[in-house]
C-alpha cells in the first residue's frame, strides 16, 4: 500500500513536470513554426494554399445562406426607398443613354482611326466570374477568398474587378480556391494614371478605406474628383480599369476613395489578361504575340 | 464504473470533441463573409474568446497540441503575405496556460471577474500578435484597427461567453482532476 502511494505521488509529480514542460515545448514549437515560416516562404505558401483548398468548400456552404440573408435584408431596405430609387434610376438611365450614344460614336471613330493607323491592340482579356466565399479581413490584412482556382485558369497577379472598378489582385492560388488582396491592403502597390492629366503614380493601400497616391511627379496637378485608372505598367493589368477618385489633396498627400464597395462584394471577375507580368510566378513575361501574317506593323 | 452502451460512448466522444469542434467552427467563421459592420472586423478575435472560456471550464478537453494546430490553421487562413504563421498558436497556448495558472481567480467567481480576466488576457493576445506582426514584417503597422477589434470583442464577450460556459462538467463525480478543489461544479459561470 505504501509503495503504491509512493508510486502515485511520484507519478503525479512526473505528470506535473511533463505538464509544465509541455507549455515550454509548445511555445518552442510555435517559435519554430514562425522561424520556418520566415525562412521558407515557399513552404508556407504551399501550406496556405492547402489550407485554403481544404476549407473553401465549407466556406462556400456557409457563404450561401449568409449571402441569402444579406440579400434579404438589403431587399427589405430597398423596399422602403423604392420610389426614390426608381426616380434616381430613371434619371441615371437617361444620362447613360446619352453616354451610350457618345460611346458608340467614339467607338466607330476609334475603329476607323485604328485601321488607318494599323494600331495593334493589347492581348484580349477574358473573364472568370467568381463568388466570394470568405473574407480575409483582419487588423493586418484586407482580402477575400474566391471559389475559383488554378483549374479554371486563375494565376497570381491577375486583376480582380467588379462592376464599379478594380478590387484587387490575386495573391495566392489553390486548385479550387484563391485569395485576392484588395487594393486597400497595406501590401498593395498599384501602378496607376491620373485620368485627366495622364500622369503616372503608384497607388498604395494602408489597410484603411482610403488609398494613398504616392510617387507623383507633381501633386499640384491633381484635383479633387480626378479619376484614377490602372496604367497597365508592369504588364499584368489591363489599361484603364477605373480604381477610384481623388477625395482629398492636402499638403503632400493625395487620398483616393476606391470605387469598389468592399463591404458588399459578392461576385467578382478575375481578368485573365493572358500575361502574368512581374508579380506572377509563371516564369516571367512571355513574348508578345507576333502580328498576324500579312499585316505589316510599322 | 462507466456505462458502455452506444449512447454512453457517443456521449463521451461528443463531450470530448465539443470544445475542439466549437473552436474549429469559430476559426472557420473568422473567414465567413458576414457583412455586419464592426462584427466582421472582430471575428478574428472570437477564437481567443473560445479558448479563454473553454480553458476555464474544461481545459483537459482543449489540450495544448490541439490549440497549436488550430492556431496555425487560423494563421494560415487569415494571414496575408509576410504575416507570421504560428503567432495565434502561441497566443492560444499562452492564454490557456494563463487561465490554468489563475484558476483560483477565474473559476467560481462572479462574472465580472471573469470578464476582467478576459480583458487582460485578450489584451495580452492582441499585443502579442501586433508586436510579432510588426517585428516580422518590419513595417510600422497601425495599431488602431487591432485596438478597435479588441474593444469590440471585449464588449460582445458577455453575449457569447454564457453560451459557451454551458459546456462544462455536468456531474460532481465527473469533475476532472484539474478543476477539483479549485471550484465547485456549476460555478464556472456567474
- Nearest residue in chain B measured CA to CA from A188: B81
Q: Enumerate the residues of chain A whose CB falls inside 8 A of the CB of residue B83.
A: 140-141
Please tell me the distance in Å from B136's CA to the nearest CA on chain A. 8
Q: In this structure, are strands A267-272 and A189-194 parallel, antiparallel, or unpaired? A: unpaired
Taking a C-beta distance cutoff of 8 angstroms, is the pair A177, A206 a contact?
A: no
Question: Average pLDDT of A91-117?
Answer: 87
Q: Which of A172-186, B115-129, B145-159, B175-189 has the lowest mean pLDDT?
A: B175-189
Question: Average pLDDT of A167-191?
Answer: 87
Fold of A126-272: Thrombin, subunit H (2.40.10)
Considering only the C-alpha atoms of chain B, give the largest distance between any 2 of them, rounded to a whole number of Å.
59
- CB contact under 8 Å between B64 and A23, yes or no, is yes
Query: Bridge partners of A159?
Result: A169, A271
Q: Which of residues 45-74 of B touch A (CB under 8 A)?
A: 64-65, 67-68, 71-73
Please tell me the distance in Å from A17's CA to the nearest CA on chain B. 14
Q: What is the pLDDT of residue A236?
A: 67
pLDDT tens digit string along B145-182?
788 888 888 988 898 888 887 766 554 444 455 544 55
The three-class DSSP label of residue B105 is: helix
Helix (H), strand (E), coil (C) string for A119-151: CCCCCCCEEEEEEEEEECCECCECEEEECCCHH
Nearest to A160 by CA among A128, A203, A121: A128
pLDDT tens digit string along A26-68?
888 888 888 888 887 788 888 888 888 888 888 888 777 777 8
Pull the grid cell for residue A249: 489633396
Q: Which of residues 115-174 of B touch A (CB under 8 A)?
A: 130, 132-133, 136, 139, 141-142, 145-146, 148-149
Structural domain boundaries of chain A?
9-39, 126-272
Q: Has residue A150 got a pLDDT over 70?
A: yes
Q: How far apart are CA A187 and CA A207, in angstroms?
A: 9
Q: Which of B40, B43, B86 sits opposite A33 (nearest CB)?
A: B86
The three-class DSSP label of residue A294 is: coil
Choose, out of A41, A135, A180, A210, the residue to mutate when testing the contact with B (most B CBs < 10 Å).
A135
Q: How far apart are CA A270 and CA A276, in angstroms?
A: 13
Amino acid at each position: 500500500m505504501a509503495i503504491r502511494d509512493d508510486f502515485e505521488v511520484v507519478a503525479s509529480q512526473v505528470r506535473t513536470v511533463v505538464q509544465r514542460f509541455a507549455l515550454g515545448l509548445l511555445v518552442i514549437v510555435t517559435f519554430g513554426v514562425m522561424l520556418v515560416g520566415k525562412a521558407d516562404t515557399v513552404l508556407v505558401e504551399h501550406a496556405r494554399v492547402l489550407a485554403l483548398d481544404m476549407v473553401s468548400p465549407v466556406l462556400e456552404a456557409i457563404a450561401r445562406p449568409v449571402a441569402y440573408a444579406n440579400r434579404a435584408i438589403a431587399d427589405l431596405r430597398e423596399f422602403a426607398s423604392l420610389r426614390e430609387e426608381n426616380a434616381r434610376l430613371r434619371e441615371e438611365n437617361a444620362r447613360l443613354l446619352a453616354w451610350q450614344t457618345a460611346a458608340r460614336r467614339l467607338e466607330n471613330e476609334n475603329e476607323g482611326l485604328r485601321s488607318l493607323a494599323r494600331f495593334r491592340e493589347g492581348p484580349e482579356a477574358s473573364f472568370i466570374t467568381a463568388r466570394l466565399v470568405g473574407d480575409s479581413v483582419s487588423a493586418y490584412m484586407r482580402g477575400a477568398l474566391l471559389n475559383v482556382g488554378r483549374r479554371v485558369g486563375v494565376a497570381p497577379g491577375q486583376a480582380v474587378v467588379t462592376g464599379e472598378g478594380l478590387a484587387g489582385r490575386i495573391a495566392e492560388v489553390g486548385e479550387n480556391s484563391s485569395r485576392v488582396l484588395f487594393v486597400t491592403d497595406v501590401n498593395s502597390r498599384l501602378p496607376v494614371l491620373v485620368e485627366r492629366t495622364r500622369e503616372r503614380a503608384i497607388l498604395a493601400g494602408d489597410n484603411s478605406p482610403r488609398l494613398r497616391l504616392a510617387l507623383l511627379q507633381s501633386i499640384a496637378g491633381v484635383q479633387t474628383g480626378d479619376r484614377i485608372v490602372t496604367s497597365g505598367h508592369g504588364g499584368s493589368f489591363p489599361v484603364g480599369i477605373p480604381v477610384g477618385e481623388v477625395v482629398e489633396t492636402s499638403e503632400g498627400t493625395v487620398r483616393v476613395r476606391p470605387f469598389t464597395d468592399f463591404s458588399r462584394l459578392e461576385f467578382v471577375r478575375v481578368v485573365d489578361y493572358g500575361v502574368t507580368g512581374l508579380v506572377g510566378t509563371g516564369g516571367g513575361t512571355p513574348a508578345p504575340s507576333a502580328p498576324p501574317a500579312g499585316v505589316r506593323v510599322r | 464504473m462507466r456505462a458502455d452502451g452506444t449512447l454512453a460512448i457517443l456521449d463521451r466522444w461528443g463531450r470530448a470533441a465539443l470544445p475542439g469542434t466549437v473552436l474549429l467552427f469559430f476559426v472557420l467563421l473568422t473567414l465567413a463573409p458576414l457583412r455586419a459592420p464592426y462584427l466582421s472586423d472582430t471575428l478574428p478575435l472570437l477564437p481567443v474568446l473560445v479558448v479563454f472560456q473553454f480553458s476555464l471550464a474544461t481545459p483537459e478537453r482543449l489540450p495544448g497540441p490541439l490549440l497549436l494546430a488550430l492556431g496555425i490553421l487560423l494563421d494560415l487562413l487569415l494571414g496575408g503575405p509576410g504575416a507570421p504563421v504560428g503567432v495565434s498558436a502561441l497566443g492560444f497556448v499562452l492564454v490557456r496556460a494563463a487561465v490554468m495558472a489563475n484558476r483560483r481567480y477565474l473559476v467560481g467567481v462572479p462574472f465580472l471577474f471573469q470578464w476582467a480576466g478576459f480583458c487582460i488576457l485578450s489584451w495580452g493576445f492582441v499585443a502579442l500578435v501586433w508586436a510579432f506582426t510588426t517585428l516580422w514584417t518590419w513595417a510600422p503597422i497601425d495599431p488602431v484597427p487591432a485596438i478597435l477589434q479588441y474593444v469590440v470583442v471585449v464588449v460582445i464577450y458577455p453575449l457569447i461567453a454564457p453560451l459557451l460556459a454551458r459546456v462544462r462538467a455536468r456531474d460532481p463525480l465527473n469533475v476532472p482532476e484539474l478543476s477539483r478543489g479549485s471550484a465547485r461544479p456549476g460555478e464556472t459561470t456567474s
